[in-house]
Structure 1
Amino acid sequence: MNLPVKNLMRLSFGAVLISGLGACANNSAQPVMANSPLTGPVNTGTYPHFTPDPKGETTQFTPEEKQALIARTTAAKTAAQSGPSADPAAAAKKQADLQKLIKQQQDDLTAIEGKKTTP
């Protein structure tokens, strides 16, 4: 009983195979999608761009604004490099505070080391 079923399966497989190969051999002169509005790739001579050109998020600087910004940043840089204060009195006060702090730290260090007792 199994033998005829196997033969039947082989014959049906062969029939499907032959019909499939016959469909591949059918060469029609007209393309399958001849009525499609898409005609395929066209050589336009330019590189394809798939994204729109980026736009600036803000308005761009004018040359005058650019020079003003450069001058402002250069002035700020020069001021920052010149020193902490242009006022001589403030600089003298800061120097006196640093000298006082150094003296205090030296006194504390000698007290910690036991060379001098604190009053």
Structure 2
Amino acid sequence: MELFAHCLGALLLVNSLPHLVHGVCGYEFPTPFARPRAVGLSAPRTNVLWGGANFVAACALLLGVGDFGFGANVDTVAVFAVGAAAALLISASAGRSRRAREASSGDASYGIRRAS
């Protein structure tokens, strides 16, 4: 059960990064709260809050469940593998969202658009 919690923490940590970066830079980016869901763009503040919630949950799972320590062990390998897989899946999902926005509105901003 600890390994599952640590892997979920890795996924949430990786997911927090694009939301925090886009939000702090003042750019809109898809969140689960956007309409249409995960395709539309959410305000920078929403992204900072969503990314922050993901980051806090990731830290709670990685540091608060069991005895996780970086090193040559199964937990570290699993966390890095899940983190890398999550990064690939999230980048593919962001690409699909961008292409869907471009197809529906002709918007070629690549999901990087300053909030107005």
TM-score, normalised with respect to structure 2: 0.27
Structure number with higher helix proportion = 2
Larger Rg, first or second structure (1 or 2): 1
Which structure is richer in relative contact order (CA contacts within 8 A, separation 6 or more)?
2
